[in-house]
Structure 1
Amino acid sequence: MTDATGKKIEFILILLALMVLVLLSKKLEKYASGEIVKLAEKEKKSQVIVLDAGHGGSDPGKIGVHEEKEKEINLEIALKVEKMLKKKKIKVIMTRTDDQMLDDQSDAGQKVRDLRERVRKINGEKPVFAVSIHQNSYPDAGIHGAQVFYYRHSAESEQAAKTMQEALRAADIGNTRQAKANDTYYLLKRTEVPIIIVECGFLSNPEEAKKLTTPEYQDDVAKAIVNGIVTCMEK
């Protein structure tokens, strides 16, 4: 074999080796990308949101100017939010799905036990965060607008509340209310994960109370809450 022939064979072998390396690197890159996507999907599936429809059963919550019952509006909106989130492949746990309290003993301590059970359920699920849905009321019938409350000593809850408040204002351009800190609400104090309370509107305001009972407006509020939740999860 001549030196020229040997060099030619050596060159071909090197070229083949380089081609093999390129092919292997592409396969590894594709595999790695696939694994990253799988991990991202797995992480998304593991993210849980707890929705808490306030009141229920013998506890009607606020009673509106047209006899609207807060417990009913809370549940309607919560069920709509649940449905929308599930379409986005987000796992949702509900504290209640029908008209009942979470404690079935009808006595003076039922309300406290109901709240304790909600907290126990939320803490047990260990969600990314929890959203408790309520309706507001105030002596001044002119006050209106959805407002979000958060635990004063939780930075994560504060961030989630401000994000949710922005989403709610986007759905109601007349709403100028701001997310508000609180350190007295039982749910906010006792829950071990980030939690916010969404007061969807004022049942003491005749116009807002009427809107809150309509499926169309409930859909708008539910969409705003879903947008707030999704934005929070992306941050």
Structure 2
Amino acid sequence: MNVHKKVLTTCFVVGAVLLFLMMSYRMNQRVSFQQWNLPLAGKVIVIDPGHGGIDGGATFNGVIEKNVTLPISLRLRDYLQEQGALVLMTREKDVDLAGSDSRSIRERKRTDLITRTKFINNSEADLYISVHANAFPQVNSKGAQTFYSPKFSENKQAAKLVQAEFIRNLKNTKRHAKPMESVYLVKHANKPGVLVEVGFLSNDEERRNLQNKVYQDDIALSIYTGVIRYFLKEHEED
């Protein structure tokens, strides 16, 4: 009788262990499948909201660039994370990246740019996105535009895909992706990436749009879609 009970107990324990292992395997398979299905799983993306802190960037009629680039960047971060990307932000608050040793405003701006560039270069980024806003004396100038360094061949394709989404979704720009080497970060970044100018603060209509949360979301969604297309190896013709 005791032997029979021991056999039953042993069978029950073995069965429970096997059931647990099978359930764990299925759960792991499900998680692995879900991760595999996320188009940005395993990708590292740096988002750089332009300016911050003492450096407000472009200003027009009281609207400051740093206050436009940050909410767009945070919304973009959320979109990218939802699709599996590891997103690194150069800033998530109204701060600059200059150290406490920087004295003059000019020195702080210079140190800030150097620090942002080092942040990108020291990361494992598959792509960086630097977000800015424009302002020109010519108040009729308008339209989001994407810039890239010709240093990496993939930069051009990433910029063209993002720009195509600006044109398709915003419906207020006919600008084209354009090479750029005059901006410190773009010139010295050693990772693939793009710089986006999300619009002109100097244009009345666009300035109003850039303060609107729905429009900010449209911009973030356009960049996000371009990034997805880039990692799916899509191409945008010239």
Partner of 1:54: 50
Partner of 2:111: 113
Paired with 1:38 and 1:227, the residues of 2 have a C-alpha distance of 20
Equivalent position SS for 1:132: strand
112 and 42 in structure 1: CA distance in 2 versus 1, 3 angstrom threshold: same
Misfit runs of 4+, over 4 Å = 36-44
Deviation at 1:233, TM superposition (A): 1.1
Paired with 1:230 and 1:137, the residues of 2 have a C-alpha distance of 29
State the AA in 2 paired with 1:107: R
If the length of structure 1 is used for normalisation, what is the TM-score?
Answer: 0.80
Partner of 1:100: 95
Say if 2:69 is the partner of 1:69. no
Partner of 1:179: 177
**Which structure has the larger Rg over C-alpha atoms?**
1
Paired with 1:209 and 1:73, the residues of 2 have a C-alpha distance of 10
169 and 196 in structure 1: CA distance in 2 versus 1, 3 angstrom threshold: same
Alignment of 1:1-235 (within 5 A): 40=36, 44-64=40-60, 66-105=61-100, 106-108=102-104, 109-235=107-233
If the length of structure 2 is used for normalisation, what is the TM-score?
Answer: 0.79
More helix by share: 1
44 and 203 in structure 1: CA distance in 2 versus 1, 3 angstrom threshold: closer
State the AA in 2 paired with 1:116: I
Paired with 1:147 and 1:43, the residues of 2 have a C-alpha distance of 25
Paired with 1:122 and 1:94, the residues of 2 have a C-alpha distance of 10
State the AA in 1 paired with 2:46: V
Equivalent position SS for 1:197: strand
182 and 116 in structure 1: CA distance in 2 versus 1, 3 angstrom threshold: same
Please list every run of 5 or more consecutive structure 1 residues that lacks an aligned counterpart in the other structure: 1-32
